[in-house]
Structure 1
Amino acid sequence: MRLNSLLAKLTPTEKPIPSQADLPKNWAVAQAWLDDLSLQNYSEHTITAYTTALMRLMNFIEQDIRLQGDYLAFDHKDLSRFLVLRLEKDGIKAISAKQTLSAIRKFYAHLIKIGKAAHNPTTGYRLKAEPRALPKVGDVDMMAQLLDQPMPDDAAKARLWIRDRAMFELMYSSGLRLSELASLDVNDIDLTAGVVKVLGKGNKMRLVPVGKKAIDAISIYLPHRDLWQENTDALFISERHGTRLSTRAIQLRLKVCATNAGIAQNLHPHLLRHCFASHILSASGDLRAVQEMLGHTDISTTQIYTQVDFSTLTKVYDKAHPRAVSRVLKYEK
């Protein structure tokens, strides 16, 4: 892949150097590796990101008083100095720093492989993880506003709403990922037993309960689906094409349904999964059960839903603690 074409795609703030004439003196070894990645069919996006990262690195090595351009002398401490500079002075985000670290790690692994370096400065180096953000969650009333909205008067829109309500009732009822919902077949759901068989991440199968509202909505939808389908086992299909709905189509339908319900919040399918987890955990307190239903391998992923705001915490306290009444009365005076 030609360097000029990559540089042309970078924004002015991303360009580590103004022109090819200013390339670091040791750039040829980096360029050889990048050309090799191109031959290995790495994506253009990845090669562009690695090009930017290595240009920054080579410029740092060339301008550093201690290193004086010797990229083979670049060690663990130099790596720390370089990344601190990028994070604090240049203000890059943590995700960009991780991508830079990945580029450096792979570059030096390549140098070791071809016998040009004896050590990898990234060995054992870890960036501090950012605090995991609490997912945005809608309340129970918002979910009712979405799922209990009136049937459209227009016949064509009414048919779509019958299908859409079945999709979103099931997603909220069982905490499904968007990809899991889209990949469901008719035989994956047992309306009599009230369970759905889900193929999750890592091809792990799990059984998840399905609530009565979702069972009723799917039962109403299935006769329409049988009329629309064109030799497909897919559960949720396009009325127009009779084929499996794509994940993108489901995303768009949720936005349409949210708008029709008068919901101002930006609704996306994963939010319904967050709502499922938060509402179940809030009512039951059973983190292990929520982990199983969500299909999380690590319970630490599920624990993010245990973060509650202080107002909710005080309500629980006031309701449950035997001495809470006196505290409430004291501050109501």
Structure 2
Amino acid sequence: MKKTRAPIRVFLDEELAAGEVEAIDAFLQWLDIQKGASAATRRAYGTDLRQFAQFLSRRGCALADPGSIGRRDVESFVAELFRAGEAKSSLARKLAAVRTLFRFWVRTGLLEDNSAARVPNPRQEQHAPRLLNVDETFSLLDEPGKAAAAISPGEHHLLCRDLALAELLYGSGLRISEALQLDVDDVRSDEQVVRVIGKGNKERLAPMSDTSVRALAAWLAERPAVADPGESALFVGARGHRLNRREAARRLGLLCRKAGLDRTISPHALRHSFATHLLDAGADLRSVQELLGHRRLSTTQRYTQVSLDRLMRVYDAAHPRAHEKK
């Protein structure tokens, strides 16, 4: 049996010097104001750079003195994390944080050269998120609601919320972070669109399915019984404040069990299912890219799967040598 590794906590037991904290804070402010990075990105980069600063202190370097840090230091940081068992996806993100910090130093005149840019990315394992087929998706979205009459009023409120969230993740292909950042005013039910703020603070209008509109209407009718007065969040938790990711994932797992599915899926699996089902039904990749809010087409290609049957249909219909001429 394959052993599961304990969560990695490298270098985080040490306190940072004031100069290191100021260096990280200045960078995070620049990331916020100049780059429009999300709060989640800033938190992740802040943690990554605290790890980097604590690693550097053991090598006689400091973030407060950018000139003391070179490419070899960055490579050694990545190597140490790798030896500690850090996932390659986490390594890539931490390296991205360090590279962005170096770019900030170059732009503000603290460095002349971004030596971190020459450190290669770790090779990533390609893991496609698990997805649902169409029948499983319909079961997830339809079956739990059939038992609504047999539950308490408080649980009924939360079930309406959970179904509305799941409908939006699948019907509009939203990231879970995008869905949980929505405010009530972002929903335009009469136009069947929702205003979404994606990565890099990029705004887009995502279309809503008919079932999403109905599920959101049902949740909005129940929401006043749950939300605190003055709370703007569309999806709120049992305590009346904005719903968090962990609770949203837990509740989605509960929907899976109520639907009788043989496995629990992540919120991202609904987004992935959305894209895959569109492609299988004949949607073109560029359109799916726009719907998902991806900047690069290669990202869409990596996170979606086109069935072999569809590929063969496209080939048979389009390629001049697919059929013998009569």
TM score, norm. by length of structure 2 = 0.64
Instruction: Tell me whether 1:257 sits opposite 2:255 in the alignment.
Output: yes
Q: In the alignment, is the contact (CA less than 8 A) between 2:140 and 2:255 conserved in 1?
A: yes
CA contact (8 A) 2:272 2:304 kept: no
Q: Give the counterpart of 1:155 among 152, 160, 181.
A: 152
Aligned to 2:34: none
Alignment of 1:111-260 (within 5 A): 122=115, 125-128=118-121, 130-131=123-124, 132-149=126-143, 150-152=146-148, 153-156=150-153, 157-229=155-227, 230-238=229-237, 240-260=238-258
Higher mean C-alpha deviation, range 81-90 or range 220-229 = 81-90
Partner of residue 37, structure 1: 20
Q: Sort the Cα spacing of 1:202 and 1:231 in 2 relative to 1 into closer, same or farther, 3 A.
A: same
**Superposition deviation, residue 173 in structure 1:** 0.5
1:320 CA displacement: 6.8
Instruction: Give CA deviations for 1:71-129 in whole Å, capped at 9, x if unaligned.
Output: x9x998x889979987999987645488579879989x99xx9x9xx997946523145
Please tell me whether the aligned partners of residues 105 and 121 of structure 1 are also in contact (alpha carbons under 8 angstroms): no
1:111-159 per-residue CA deviation (whole Å, 9 max, x = no partner) reads: xx9x9xx997946523145345433322222211211113241133333
Conservation of the 8 A alpha-carbon contact between 1:105 and 1:120: no
Structure 1: stretches of 5+ with no match in the other structure: 1-9, 16-32, 59-71, 327-333
Taking only aligned residues, the RMSD between alpha carbons, in angstroms, comes to 4.6
| Shift in alpha-carbon separation, 1:304–1:192, aligned structure 2, 3 A | same
Residue type at the aligned position of 1:221? W
**Partner letter of residue 152 of structure 2?**
A
In structure 1, the partner of 2:32 is none
Equivalent residue, structure 1, for 2:36:
none
Residue 321 (1) aligns with residue 323 (2): no
Find the partner of 2:275 among 277, 280, 286: 277
Q: Read off the aligned partner of 1:225 and give its amino acid letter.
A: R
Structure with the greater alpha carbon radius of gyration: 1
Q: How many residues align?
A: 275
- Measured in 2, the distance between the counterparts of 1:46 and 1:80 equals 11
Query: Are the structure 2 counterparts of residues 53 and 162 from structure 1 closer, same or farther at C-alpha, using a change threshold of 3 Å?
Result: same
How far, CA to CA, are the matches of 1:320 and 1:275 in structure 2? 23
Instruction: State the SS of the aligned residue for 1:137.
Output: coil
Over 3 Å counting, the alpha-carbon distance change for 1:137 and 1:325 in structure 2 is farther
State the secondary structure of the residue aligned to 1:196: strand
Give the Cα–Cα distance (whole angstroms) in 1 for the partners of residues 230 and 57 of structure 2: 52
The answer to whether the Cα contact below 8 Å between 2:55 and 2:77 also exists between their aligned partners in 1 is: no
What is the alpha-carbon distance in structure 1 between the residues aligned to residue 128 and residue 204 of structure 2? 25
Q: Note closer, same or farther for the CA distance 1:237–1:54 as it changes in structure 2 (3 Å cut).
A: closer
Q: Which amino acid aligns with 1:300?
A: S
Tell me how far 1:303 sits from its aligned partner: 1.8
